[in-house]
Amino acid sequence: MTEIGELLPPDRLMLTPGPSSVHPRIYRAMASTIVGHLDPWFLNMMMNEVQVLLREVFRTENRTTFPISSSGSGGIEASMLNPLEEGDEALICVNGSFSERMAEIAERTPARVTRVSAPYGRVVEPDDLRRAGKGRKIKVLGAVHGESSTSAASPLEAYRKVADELGALLVVDCVSTLGGMPIDVDRMRLDICFSGSQKALSSPPGLSPITVSPAAEEAIRKRKTKVQSWYFDLTTTMNYWGKDRTYHHTPAIPLLYAFREALRMVMEEGLEAMWERHSLNQHAFLAGLEGLGLKPFVENPAERMITVTAIAVPQGVDGKRVQQQLLEDFNIEIAGGFGPLKGKIWRAGLMGNTSRRRNVLLLLAALENVLVSQGYRVPSGAGVANAIRVYSEAGVAAAAK
């Protein structure tokens, strides 16, 4: 019999587009005693509290707001399969790998799906959506808020206007942005909005929080046919997370413990303060990249994500080797591109618990070291110096207020 040793994973600094590093408080919560998923304590207190906190983070009063036991891809499944059936039409914004996934999942429904595309690194123009939907009865307009495969951020408020003009439900993937970029579900009138536990919320992977507006809930309940997926059928899951707490499945109880603590930490800091922290750290990081002679992949500043930054790999630099050296020499993990962007970009995530001044400065210093070792010419210390200048200016501004 093969002897397998104790599990001892390395303690990496996760500066990827997800998962992000988890705070010790969240690990402690996850290690709490297991109770049954139908235990009165779990049903009446634990689940209620998770829903109350999640509504505050989504900034919504939607009745149907809960974490699905799945990855963010499960959130895509639920958001596409539930509203779409035969005879429906949908427009899906496609500008990266995850929006491609949304379109592919939508295309597996009997609905007629039209992809409205933009080059990777750009966002779909609202006028292109208008043209694609003109004269048609569109039920769903789907978009990814933060396309973390390219780090492009879609203009949700402009998409809401188009959805209103077309009479469509607006379905938004906020997997990489909830908690790190401004999301106000009720004010922005997002009909279905889902996220992931492991990104800016800094909880372990395995949950996809979702919220459904009354209009979307009504559309789902009026379906003529059953949802294709039993597991992701929101009409049944809503009953488990609703007042009846009707048994549906065994949820990931330790992950819900962790998620509850992660949401508590968000609310302790305050959403606006959290958004400001992410924005400042991204601003400092971009300034640092400029000092290193590196360029963001998304050229238009108005279309850049705050939580994830894609960096163009300079000519003559081995991008994969840079990632390996960061891991081996500094214990830092960043991601590369995939699909058509494989080998062309790095993707750095500064989100949730990892969006900290010290991590920005450490990553910039480590990048400089690794790039110099490959013969890339970098002005010594310019990356860190530029970032420190941003922080100093922000400190002066804060003191003046």
Reported as a single tens digit per residue, the pLDDT across 293-328 is: 999 999 999 999 999 999 999 999 999 999 999 999
Give me the pLDDT at residue 244, please.
64
Give me the pLDDT at residue 41, please.
86
Q: What percent of the chain has pLDDT over 70?
A: 96
Task: Examine the pLDDT at 124 and tell me if it is beyond 90.
Answer: yes
**Buried b / exposed e along 321-353 (16+ C-beta atoms within 10 A):** ebbebbeeebebbbbbbeeebeeebbbbbbbbb
Looking at the DSSP bridge assignments, the partners of residue 89 are 112
Tell the residue number behind the tokens 């059953």, with chain if given.
Answer: 226
Q: Which of 73, 74, 98 is nearest to 150 (CA)?
A: 98
Question: What is the average pLDDT across 22-34?
Answer: 95
pLDDT band at 401 (very low <50, low <70, confident <90, very high): very low
Question: What is the average pLDDT across 27-37?
Answer: 93
Give me the pLDDT at residue 38, please.
84
Reported as a single tens digit per residue, the pLDDT across 217-259 is: 999 999 999 999 999 999 887 676 666 666 678 889 999 999 9
| Rounded Cα distance, 314 and 220, in Å | 48
Question: What is the average pLDDT across 169-188?
Answer: 98
293 contacts: CB under 8 Å, gap ≥ 6: 314, 376, 377, 378, 379
Q: Is the peptide bond before 254 cis (omega within 30 degrees of 0)?
A: no
Question: What is the average pLDDT across 337-364?
Answer: 96
For every residue of 249-302, DSSP letters joined together read ----HHHHHHHHHHHHHHHHH-HHHHHHHHHHHHHHHHHHHHHTT--BS---GG
pLDDT band at 201 (very low <50, low <70, confident <90, very high): very high
Task: Examine the pLDDT at 400 and tell me if it is beyond 60.
Answer: no
Give me the pLDDT at residue 111, please.
98
Give me the pLDDT at residue 88, please.
97
Task: Examine the pLDDT at 73 and tell me if it is beyond 80.
Answer: yes
pLDDT band at 44 (very low <50, low <70, confident <90, very high): confident
Looking at the DSSP bridge assignments, the partners of residue 152 are 147, 304
Q: What is the mean pLDDT of the chain?
A: 94
Question: In this structure, how many other beta carbons lie within 10 angstroms of the beta carbon of residue 223?
Answer: 15
Question: What is the average pLDDT across 84-108?
Answer: 97
The residue type found at 260 is: R
DSSP-based three-state secondary structure for 89 = strand
DSSP-based three-state secondary structure for 67 = strand
Q: Which of 345, 338, 277 is nearest to 307 (CA)?
A: 277
- The C-alpha angle 17, 96, 216, rounded to 5 degrees, equals 90
pLDDT band at 91 (very low <50, low <70, confident <90, very high): very high
| Domains (range + CATH), the chain | 24-268 (3.40.640.10), 271-400 (3.90.1150.10)
Give me the pLDDT at residue 121, please.
96
Task: Examine the pLDDT at 351 and tell me if it is beyond 90.
Answer: yes
The C-alpha R_g of the chain, in whole angstroms, comes to 22
